[in-house]
């Protein structure tokens, strides 16, 4: 992976999806189809939906119920108030007959709609909700560190916070299963260069760029994961991989049953995403929508032409008012932000990280993903989308 190498030749578009030669780590096979398409095809065969998926989910549910016997909860479900996590919670409770504990992490950017949705869905399902709120000065500073680092992804706070909240709650409550709702069919696999996190990388960004002390921030390091996985025997299951309940009828069900309200855009239960998307487009020239829209093209929800037409539309995050609002909340001046947009682009590979170590243990990592101990698509993301 050589991220410094700017694409010299003209943009080459994948024969099938919307990924092109400017995407880091993209490769094309003899038929002109990109490796992201091939990853998705492989995942399709590994994770069947329909009747086969249903049978697998029944087995998973039986296993989770067995592990939860005699305890107040069977599993932890990560929730944001968005469509996918709300539906995942409903599915766990009503279809899989599990006793979930909903866990939510708030880095200070929850929209009011997200908060309302969370309360409504959890009340409607009679599920306990455990919310972990990050100390706001710490959250703001950590996000500012990632912006000052000139790397593509600036919402590390949320990614670390969610993983930490889910595992720490599961460990504390003696729960062995964490259910997630990332759908490779709808959300795709993000190029690793665009979205990377690990504890060493986070520490290095804080060391170099923090201007205030982070007093309450808890990093999530490899030894924590080893403790949770090997000692507490916690597994992560992405149940969304086995069902194909997507699209408007899911939203309609959530609206009718719980009074759930659509935020209008995916990920907009977290308002910082306006800035995340705007920053990437203006600094790195990439548009986050390409990942999801490409996944939808591969899954047949959109044609390639429809996907390209959607990409040509002005994105919702081209909203200067919202950018100013986010920057004001972050305590960062527009001048500093604009200077960062103009500064040389950097990637996680420009900072110390555990990635070389992960590469050495990639087979171990693969086994953990295949055994549903780590999220199933994590291996593809860390070693195939580069
Ligand atoms: Zn493709």
HEC profile for the chain? CCCCCCCCCCCCECCCCCCECCCCCCCECCCCCEHHHHHHHHHHHHCCCHHHHHHHHHHHHHHHHHHHCCCCCCEEEECCCCHHHHHHHHHHHHHCCCCEEEEEEECCCECHHHHHHHHHHHHHHCCCEEEEECCHHHHHHHHHHHHHCCCCCCCHHHHHHHHHHHHHHHHHCCCCEEEECCCHHHHCCCCHHHCCCCHHHHHHHHHHHCCCCCCCCCCCCHHHHHHHHHHCCCEEEEHHHHCCCCCHHHHHHHHHHHCCCCCCCCCCCECCHHHHHHHHHHHHCCCCHHHHHHHHHHCCCCCHHHHHHHHHCCCCCCCHHHHHHHHHHHCCCHHHHHHHHHCCCCCHHHCCCCHHHHHHCHHHHHHHHHCCCCCCCHHHHHHCCC
Percent of the chain with pLDDT over 70: 96
pLDDT digits (tens, 9 = 90+) for 31-83: 999 999 999 999 999 999 999 999 999 999 999 999 999 999 999 999 999 99
Nearest to 259 by CA among 113, 384, 371, 374: 113
- pLDDT, residue 372, reads 83
| Cα 13 to middle of ligand 1, angstroms | 8
| Cα 2 to middle of ligand 1, angstroms | 20
- pLDDT, residue 183, reads 86
Q: What is the pTM of this model?
A: 0.93
The domain locations on the chain are: 48-383
| Cα 289 to middle of ligand 1, angstroms | 14
Please report which confidence band the pLDDT of residue 263 belongs to, taking 50, 70 and 90 as the band edges. confident
| Cα 127 to middle of ligand 1, angstroms | 40
What is the average pLDDT across 294-299? 94
- pLDDT, residue 265, reads 67
Give me the CATH topology for the region 48-383: Rossmann fold (3.40.50)
Please report which confidence band the pLDDT of residue 3 belongs to, taking 50, 70 and 90 as the band edges. very low
Greatest Cα pair distance, the chain, in angstroms, is 62
Residues that place a CB less than 5 A from ion ligand 1 = 14, 16-17, 19, 34, 37
Neighbours of 303 (CB within 10 A): 11
| Cα 15 to middle of ligand 1, angstroms | 7
Neighbours of 144 (CB within 10 A): 22
pLDDT digits (tens, 9 = 90+) for 124-153: 999 999 999 999 999 999 999 999 999 999
pLDDT digits (tens, 9 = 90+) for 172-222: 999 999 999 988 988 889 999 999 999 999 999 999 999 999 999 999 999
pLDDT at 9 over 80: no
| Cα 4 to middle of ligand 1, angstroms | 22
How many angstroms separate the CA atoms of 259 and 2, rounded?
48
Pairing of the two strands 100-106 and 75-78: parallel
| Cα 295 to middle of ligand 1, angstroms | 9
The two tokens of residue 377 are: 């698509």
How many angstroms separate the CA atoms of 205 and 352, rounded?
9
| Cα 360 to middle of ligand 1, angstroms | 28
| Cα 8 to middle of ligand 1, angstroms | 20
Query: Which residue did the predictor score with more confidence, 362 or 370?
Result: 362
| Cα 33 to middle of ligand 1, angstroms | 5
| Cα 185 to middle of ligand 1, angstroms | 13
| Cα 34 to middle of ligand 1, angstroms | 4
Q: Are 272 and 265 in contact (CB under 8 A)?
A: no
Please report which confidence band the pLDDT of residue 269 belongs to, taking 50, 70 and 90 as the band edges. confident
The two tokens of residue 333 are: 């001046």
| Cα 95 to middle of ligand 1, angstroms | 34
What is the average pLDDT across 95-115? 95
How far are the Cα atoms of 142, 267, 308, 361 from residue 297, in angstroms, in the given order?
35, 19, 10, 33
Sign of CA dihedral 51, 63, 363, 186: positive
- pLDDT, residue 381, reads 87
pLDDT digits (tens, 9 = 90+) for 228-256: 999 999 999 999 999 887 677 899 999 99
- pLDDT, residue 249, reads 86
- pLDDT, residue 268, reads 66
| Cα 158 to middle of ligand 1, angstroms | 28
The two tokens of residue 176 are: 């062995």
Mean pLDDT of the chain: 93
Please report which confidence band the pLDDT of residue 270 belongs to, taking 50, 70 and 90 as the band edges. confident
Please report which confidence band the pLDDT of residue 385 belongs to, taking 50, 70 and 90 as the band edges. confident
pLDDT at 6 over 50: no
């Amino acid at each position: 992976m050589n991220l410094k190498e700017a694409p010299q030749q003209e943009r080459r578009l994948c024969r099938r999806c919307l990924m092109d030669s400017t995407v880091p780590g993209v490769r094309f096979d003899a038929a002109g189809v990109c490796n992201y398409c091939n990853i998705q095809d492989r995942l399709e065969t590994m994770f069947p939906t329909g009747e086969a998926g249903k049978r697998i989910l029944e087995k998973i549910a039986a296993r989770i119920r067995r592990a939860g016997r005699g305890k107040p909860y069977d599993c932890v479900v990560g929730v944001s108030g968005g469509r996918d996590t709300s539906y995942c919670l409903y599915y766990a409770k009503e279809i899989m007959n599990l006793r979930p504990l909903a866990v939510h992490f708030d880095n200070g950017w929850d929209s009011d709609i997200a908060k309302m949705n969370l309360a409504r869905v959890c009340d409607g399902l009679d599920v306990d909700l455990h919310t972990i709120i990050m100390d706001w000065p710490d959250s703001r500073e950590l996000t500012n560190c990632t912006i000052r680092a000139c790397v593509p992804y600036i919402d590390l706070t949320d990614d670390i916070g969610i993983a930490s909240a889910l595992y720490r709650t599961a460990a504390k409550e003696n729960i062995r299963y964490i259910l997630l709702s990332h759908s490779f069919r709808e959300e795709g696999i993000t190029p690793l260069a665009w979205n990377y996190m690990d504890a060493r990388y986070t520490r290095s960004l804080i060391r170099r760029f923090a201007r205030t002390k982070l007093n309450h921030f808890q990093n999530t390091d490899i030894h924590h994961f080893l403790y949770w996985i090997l000692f507490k025997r916690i597994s992560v299951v992405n149940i969304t991989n086995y069902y194909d309940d997507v699209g408007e009828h899911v939203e309609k069900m959530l609206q009718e049953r719980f009074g759930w309200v659509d935020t209008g855009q995916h990920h907009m239960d977290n308002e910082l995403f306006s800035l995340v998307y705007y920053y990437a487009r203006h600094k790195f020239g990439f548009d986050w929508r390409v990942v999801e829209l490409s996944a939808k093209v591969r899954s047949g929800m959109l044609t390639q032409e429809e996907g390209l037409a959607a990409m040509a539309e002005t994105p919702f995050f081209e909203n200067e008012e919202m950018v100013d609002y986010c920057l004001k909340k972050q305590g960062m001046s527009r001048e500093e932000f604009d200077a960062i947009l103009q500064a040389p682009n950097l990637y996680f590979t420009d900072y110390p990280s555990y990635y070389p170590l992960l590469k050495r243990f990639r087979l171990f990592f693969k086994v953990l993903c295949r055994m549903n101990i780590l999220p199933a698509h994590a291996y593809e993301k860390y070693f195939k989308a580069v």
